[in-house]
Structure 1
Amino acid sequence: MTTPTAATPHWTAVCAVQDILPNTGVCALVGQHHIAIFRTGTGQWFALNNIDPRSQASVLARGLIGNLGDRLVVASPLYKQHFDLHTGECLEAPQQSVCTYPVRTEGGQVLVQAS
């Protein structure tokens, strides 16, 4: 059995799939990371840093999922910036982009990979 190290991030179960309704998000603390996990209406899963870069509040999981053109985004509930769910890019201010994390479902659980 291999023990995870800082160089080998591991998958962490954060909640049951049924705990995240379609087109909503939840926040989970994974290690030292505040992570927003989103489930779209089409069953896609995304994970971003939950800290709004402008306010430094842990709130992105409460944002609204939608589209701007062909981009799937979440709108920050505080200052309404839009963050691309695929890349974490802030569309209004790219210097305020956030990190993304791998996310998957397995055995009815949502798992996130963060170092």
Structure 2
Amino acid sequence: MNAILQQDETWVSICQLDDIVPNTGVCALVNGEQVAVFHIDDGAARVFAIGNYDPNSNAAVLSRGLVGSLGERIVVASPIYKHHFDLETGECLEVPGSSVNAFATRVENGQVWISA
């Protein structure tokens, strides 16, 4: 998925929540930037969005990483060097200087929105 469906001021409509398999991510193009969007279902369906570009490996791959948790943090492990990125903040736990942007998200009527 690399398309913007609809834009509403500073929010961009990405897809239906059901389009993202629970506990995985997809990539969306938001204002020319690749964003990794994750649907986390741990009893309550939640959505997180961080930059898709992994600065440690110089590749746009975070949407394809494995989702899990480290303590209280929900993270994605980059598929290349396995660095963990906090889905709420974008912080890289192993190399904090290599953190990525985090984006506000919301789900309305089953539609996923990202703050541009």
> TM-score per shorter chain, which class?
0.7 to 0.9
Q: TM-score, with normalisation over the residues of structure 1?
A: 0.87
Which ranges of structure 2 fall in alignment gaps of 5 or more residues? 1-6
Separation in 1 of the partners of 2:72 and 2:12? 31
AA paired with 2:21? L
Root-mean-square deviation (CA), in Å?
1.4
Separation in 2 of the partners of 1:70 and 1:113? 24
Question: Which structure shows the bigger proportion of residues in strand conformation?
Answer: 2
* Structure 1 residues 39-84: Cα deviation after superposition (integer angstroms, max 9, x where no partner): 1122111000000111221110001111112211100011100001
Q: Which runs of 4 or more aligned residues in structure 1 lie more than 3 Å from their structure 2 counterparts after TM superposition?
A: none
Matches within 5 A, 1:86-101: 86-101=88-103
Separation in 2 of the partners of 1:33 and 1:103? 16
Matches within 5 A, 1:1-115: 10-42=10-42, 43-114=45-116
What's the secondary structure of 2:53's corresponding residue?
coil
Separation in 1 of the partners of 2:102 and 2:58? 17
Given that 2:74 and 2:88 are in contact with CA atoms closer than 8 Å, whether structure 1 keeps it comes out as yes
* Structure 1 residues 3-38: Cα deviation after superposition (integer angstroms, max 9, x where no partner): x9xxxx611111111101110100000112110000
Q: Which has the higher contact order (CA 8 A, sep 6+)?
A: 1
Aligned-residue sequence identity (percent) comes to: 53
AA paired with 1:12? V
Which ranges of structure 1 fall in alignment gaps of 5 or more residues? none
Q: TM-score, with normalisation over the residues of structure 2?
A: 0.87
